[in-house]
Structure 1
Amino acid sequence: MRLAVIDLGTNTFHLIIAEQNAGELQIIYKTNQPVKLGEDITKNNLIIPTAFERGITCLQDFKAEIDKYEIDVVKATATSGVRSAKNGMDFVEAAKERAGIEIDIIDGDEEAQYIYEGVKWSGAITGKSLIMDIGGGSTEFILCDEESLVWKKSYNIGAARLMQAFFNSDPINETDTSSIINHLAEELKALKIICNEYAPETLIGSAGAFETFAGMINDDIDIKTIATADIPLLDYKNLAAQLIQSTHQERANMEGLIPLRVDMIVMASILTNYILDEFGIKTIKLSTYDLKMGVLQSLKS
């Protein structure tokens, strides 16, 4: 049986195709496109026309691949970018009519659950952990250990959303940085309470920005083939400081930093720094398995 998962993120759309044999899943194809569906979304809470069209075109491309691979089961999930937009349902209807893709808009709780299942599958969870998945529109936090999910919550503090609201200087200045940190402190009150009680020892970054951090720190890592990797704390801190202090052009010239993340990596660094400092976490891991892998796992028969 062949399965396909489409993950419609606020920045990037992903397609992953797997074959199931005797209960085992083997990835046979994967691709992604930097659609930037959430471009300027904070202005009027709308998917703007150019982003809308990029999204539909991408889904048409994905549908062509799905047809080529003769897929038995397809599941497409949309997260913050679609669920928070006033015209999100218009996009869902257009995707069905023009691309033949039926989209399931999932809420923040479902999103966090799928992320947990994906990260668990990677083997990254050892002991008390805090999973963080920095998306474009939202960021999910999950407290867990190897056996169980303890607590989960989705917050509208994704990198694109933070960037559109607070990133007004180049390089980012202290005023903008302070505004972001104050916003995080206000938004993450519940997380602070539960983390002070649970005391996670490891921060697990789910794909995205954490793949960039890991790859820039160690260029021997092949992100496409590994499930998990350690991110040394001191190396991360040095890299984050460099990213935050650099200009857009300096970051654009950095090895291992894809164009989509040139500016959003600054937001991801500030957010990650805040979590590490606030909760005194000293160990960081990457899980390349994220929401789409959790969705894929849920389709296994």
Structure 2
Amino acid sequence: MRIASIDVGSNTVLLLIAEWKKGQLKFIKNDYRIPRLRKNLSLTGRISEESKTKFFSVLNEYMGIIAQFHCEKILCSATAAMRKAENSGEIIKEVKEIFGLEIEVIPGEREAEYSFLGATSTFPGKDNYAVLDIGGASTEIITGNPKKITYKQSFPFGAVTLTEEYLNEFPYKNNNLTELENFIKKSFETLPLNLKSRSFPIAVAGTPTSLVGIKLGLDDYIEEKVDGAFLTKDDLNKFINYFTKTSPLRLLEDNPVFLEGRSDVILAGTMLLKEFLLKSGSDMVNVSGRGLRYGMVIDYVNSLK
């Protein structure tokens, strides 16, 4: 049985094709595009026509891929941008009419659960985990073990929204950088993490995987090299220094593979990641490329057992 999973995020839209056969789950294809549904949403309250057109183009491409792989089941979840947009209902109706695709807009807590399932599958066998999922318009932090989630929180901000609020003009002003750093610290200060020597920290989504790709000097996204890699505190400090001093346009020129559609928001995402690492008490964070779309498939397969 082949399963397609589509993650409609605030910045990216991702596709996973998996196969469930003889009790074994195999992941066979990954794709991602960046229509940035969240763009200017905070100003208008709506997903723009430009973003909607890009999104429909992505779905048209993905439905073709799904047909090629003869998938019997399609799972599709949308997160923060669709949760917030006034016109999300209209868009979901259009998607159903044009593509025959049902989009489920999931709450932040469900998003956290899926992210936890996906991210921890990269690192099986640990007693306790702490997972950070940095999205475009929301950020999830989840702790737990293979049997039970002990804490989950979805924060109503992400790399795109923080950039729009604090880093919307380059060169960045020192007071804006300080305000952003203080906002993240304050938002995370009540987290019951207390992770020192207890939980295995994992970061998932585009920010950490892009940082790993740049760190390793990869010419393309190679899942086998990115998934399971790690970032140290020193790595993050160097990246923040680099991103602070370099314009998004220059960042894109220097890192076209990993920063396309992400060069202007990577600094905010990296600052979120650094604060999570500091809060965890660890010197390094493990990186997973297996986010929500993987969690959806794993959850669905578990329901079949």
Alpha-carbon displacement from aligned partner over 1:172-204 (angstroms, at most 9, x marks no partner) = 22111122123324433442xx12488865431
Q: What corresponds to 1:297 in structure 2? A: 298
Q: What corresponds to 1:250 in structure 2? A: 250
Alignment of 1:99-178 (within 5 A): 99-123=99-123, 126-178=126-178
Tell me which of 201, 204, 209 is aligned to 1:203.
201
Q: Say which SS state the counterpart of residue 224 (structure 2) adopts.
A: coil
Q: What corresponds to 1:218 in structure 2? A: 216
2: CA distance between counterparts of 1:130 and 1:72? 33
Q: Give the number of equivalent residue pairs.
A: 299
Alpha-carbon displacement from aligned partner over 1:18-47 (angstroms, at most 9, x marks no partner) = 121111122232212111111111102210
Q: Say which SS state the counterpart of residue 176 (structure 1) adopts.
A: helix
Corresponding position: 1:272 with 2:273: yes
Q: Say which SS state the counterpart of residue 30 (structure 1) adopts.
A: strand
Alignment of 1:21-32 (within 5 A): 21-32=21-32
Alpha-carbon displacement from aligned partner over 1:64-104 (angstroms, at most 9, x marks no partner) = 22222221111100001111111111111111011221101
**Is 2:132–2:276's contact at 8 Å kept on the other side of the alignment?**
no
Unaligned runs of 5+ in 2: none
Corresponding position: 1:285 with 2:286: yes
TM-score (norm 2): 0.90
2: CA distance between counterparts of 1:146 and 1:231? 23
TM-score (norm 1): 0.91
Letter in structure 2 aligned against 1:14:
L
**Is 2:137–2:156's contact at 8 Å kept on the other side of the alignment?**
yes
Q: What corresponds to 1:65 in structure 2? A: 65
Q: Say which SS state the counterpart of residue 140 (structure 2) adopts.
A: strand
Q: Say which SS state the counterpart of residue 222 (structure 2) adopts.
A: coil
1: CA distance between counterparts of 2:125 and 2:144? 8
**Is 1:119–1:125's contact at 8 Å kept on the other side of the alignment?**
no
CA distance 1:279–1:232, shift in 2 (3 Å): closer
Unaligned runs of 5+ in 1: none
CA distance 1:197–1:212, shift in 2 (3 Å): closer
Letter in structure 2 aligned against 1:188:
F
CA distance 1:198–1:107, shift in 2 (3 Å): farther
1: CA distance between counterparts of 2:74 and 2:104? 11
Letter in structure 2 aligned against 1:195:
L
Letter in structure 1 aligned against 2:10:
T
Identity value in percent: 23
CA drift at 1:240: 2.6
Q: What corresponds to 1:262 in structure 2? A: 263
